[in-house]
């Protein structure tokens, strides 16, 4: 096998709570992560040595700051390997959008190199390599629906909340995760998610119950900076969403809908006013 092609799926948060700031500078989280069918496509091709990265989106860095580069270095170091790979990224997930696009690509590279080089590493091992690359990488390795704690790397699989229709709206802004956490004032947060209740609703496959309980405490920082996020949330709710929330540190907003008809109806109303609006589904 000389080449392998992988789907790298994005995630949304059905809830995001920050419990406290830790001594290592990170924030202790409790969040529900949900994989969605919006994806980048990653092609890995064997080359004699080194790493070459290409991407259809000129905004994506092709150097060592790209998480796929870090994934390559980490797996080479872990397995003491000196092989080369060409990584091509077909980018569809909005960049720096709160959808874990970079982490999804890194997770796909870890899984793909494991197959391409026949390393036989278990997912658990890949997740432990991945957590040093980015907090969302371990989730992107397992996907589905999960409760995440710690920095986001301590995962418990939940009953799969799949096949729920979504609209994903990116207001064409890039938001730095470090900026959002750095400006979070924990004493200013009035509403927190009731994570246990949301999990109960997930167990009952109760879309309306999940939708009305979703809370993301990071909205307090990102919406203050970019009020357009709130405007999109309100539009989604006005035009048929059961619930709408910012994903991760933002700025991407998603709406959850009762079914495809409602999602398409809302899409047709908002498509001219929101630059990047995508119909998607949980998976
Ligand atoms: O782990 P990742 O590289 O995605 O995190 C980016 C930045 O977000 C970190 O450098 C940190 O400033 C912040 N962060 C945090 N607490 C977390 C996750 C991320 O403070 N649990």
| CA proximity to 170, closest of 255, 259, 281, 243 | 255
pLDDT of 96 reads 87
- pLDDT for residue 239 is more than 90: yes
- What CA–CA distance (Å, rounded) separates 253 from 115? 34
Question: Tell me: the pLDDT tens digits for 52-106?
Answer: 999 999 999 999 999 999 999 999 999 999 999 999 999 999 998 999 999 999 9
pTM, rounded to two decimals = 0.96
User: Which residue, judged by its Cα, is nearest atom 11 of ligand 1?
Assistant: 178
Question: Tell me: the pLDDT tens digits for 170-203?
Answer: 998 889 999 999 999 999 898 999 999 999 999 9
pLDDT of 188 reads 86
% helix / strand / coil in the chain, to the nearest 5?
35, 30, 35
Give the ligand 1 atom nearest the CA of 29: 21
* Catalytic residue list: 11, 136
- What CA–CA distance (Å, rounded) separates 190 from 182? 18
Please compute, for residue 64, the number of CA atoms within 13 A of its CA located in the half-sphere on the CB side.
3
How far apart are the CA of 25 and the centre of ligand 1, in A?
Answer: 8
- What CA–CA distance (Å, rounded) separates 211 from 182? 28
How far apart are the CA of 34 and the centre of ligand 1, in A?
Answer: 19
- What CA–CA distance (Å, rounded) separates 105 from 259? 29
């Amino acid at each position: 096998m000389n080449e392998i092609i992988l789907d790298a799926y994005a995630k949304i948060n059905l809830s995001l709570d920050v419990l406290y700031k830790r001594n290592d500078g990170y924030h202790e989280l409790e969040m529900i992560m949900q994989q969605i069918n919006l994806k980048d496509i990653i092609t890995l091709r064997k080359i004699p040595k080194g790493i070459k990265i290409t991407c259809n989106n000129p905004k994506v860095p092709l150097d060592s700051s790209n998480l796929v580069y870090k994934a390559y270095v980490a797996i080479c170091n872990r397995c003491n390997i000196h092989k080369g790979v060409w990584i091509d990224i077909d980018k569809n997930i909005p960049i720096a959008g709160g959808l874990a696009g970079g982490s999804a690509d890194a997770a796909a590279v870890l899984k793909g190199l494991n197959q391409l080089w026949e390393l036989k590493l278990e997912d658990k091992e890949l997740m432990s390599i991945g957590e040093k690359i980015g907090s969302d990488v371990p989730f992107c390795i397992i996907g589905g629906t999960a409760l995440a704690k710690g920095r986001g790397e301590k995962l418990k699989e939940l009953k799969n909340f799949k096949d729920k229709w979504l609209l994903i709206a990116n207001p064409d802004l890039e938001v730095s995760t470090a900026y959002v956490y750095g400006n979070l004032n924990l004493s200013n947060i009035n509403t927190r998610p009731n994570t246990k209740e949301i999990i109960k609703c997930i167990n009952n496959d109760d879309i309306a119950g999940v939708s009305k309980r979703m809370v993301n405490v990071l909205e307090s920082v990102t919406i203050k900076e970019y009020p357009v996020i709130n405007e999109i949330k309100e539009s989604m709710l006005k035009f048929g969403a059961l619930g709408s929330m910012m994903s991760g540190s933002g700025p991407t907003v998603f709406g959850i809908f009762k079914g495809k008809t409602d999602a398409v109806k809302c899409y047709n109303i908002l498509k001219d006013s929101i630059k990047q609006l995508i119909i998607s589904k949980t998976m």
